[in-house]
Amino acid sequence: MEINNHWLTSAKRITSPNCDNRDDEKDISLIVIHCISLPEGKFNTPYIEQLFTNHLLAQSHSSFAEICQLQVSSHIVIQRGGLITQYVPFNKRAWHAGLSEYQGRQKCNDFSIGIELEGTDCTPYTDPQYSQLSTLIKCLIQTYPRLNVENISGHSDIAPQRKTDPGKCFDWRRLNTEVRL
């Protein structure tokens, strides 16, 4: 896995308009792990891409009326089978964390990379997802000097009053072991 000009060379690339410039491109110092499925609990649908590119239609599913107008994105989505799609280059600010705080710093989007795992809070993640995630994290740490294995957080940790992802089924011990190999 390699990064060239802030894009993963091996990832599918779909550009999201839901990003902007970081105040300091060199201050990439946090990785935030999320989970997403649209509709909830359904996998391998076109709806995550539609959400991140502002093309999600309310009439596509009853749960989409409340989210179809959101302007959100993440840098990366890792599907259940391990396919990686990148929506925002790493030097840009993706809109994934919302109101958030990490170690006393607010606005985590300013200094973080957001990684979405296709899943739910209560569905175990797949071996291909863990494999791709750990390889990606190693690559990010090698590329961005302010990143390290201690600064990896769940969305639930930076926005505990609002978010629960990646959820109770995410195996932090496994990720830590794989990233440190």
Residues annotated as part of the active site: 116
C-alpha 119, offset from chain centre: 12
Q: What is the 3-state secondary structure (H, E, C) of the chain?
A: CCEECCEECCCEECCCCCEEECCCCCCCCEEEEEEECCCCCCCCCCHHHHHHCCCCCHHHCHHHCCCCCCCCCCCEEECCCCCEEECCCCCEEECCCCCCEECCEECHHHCEEEEEEECCCCCCCCHHHHHHHHHHHHHHHHHCCCCCCCCEEEHHHHCCCCCCCCCCCCCHHHHHHHHHC
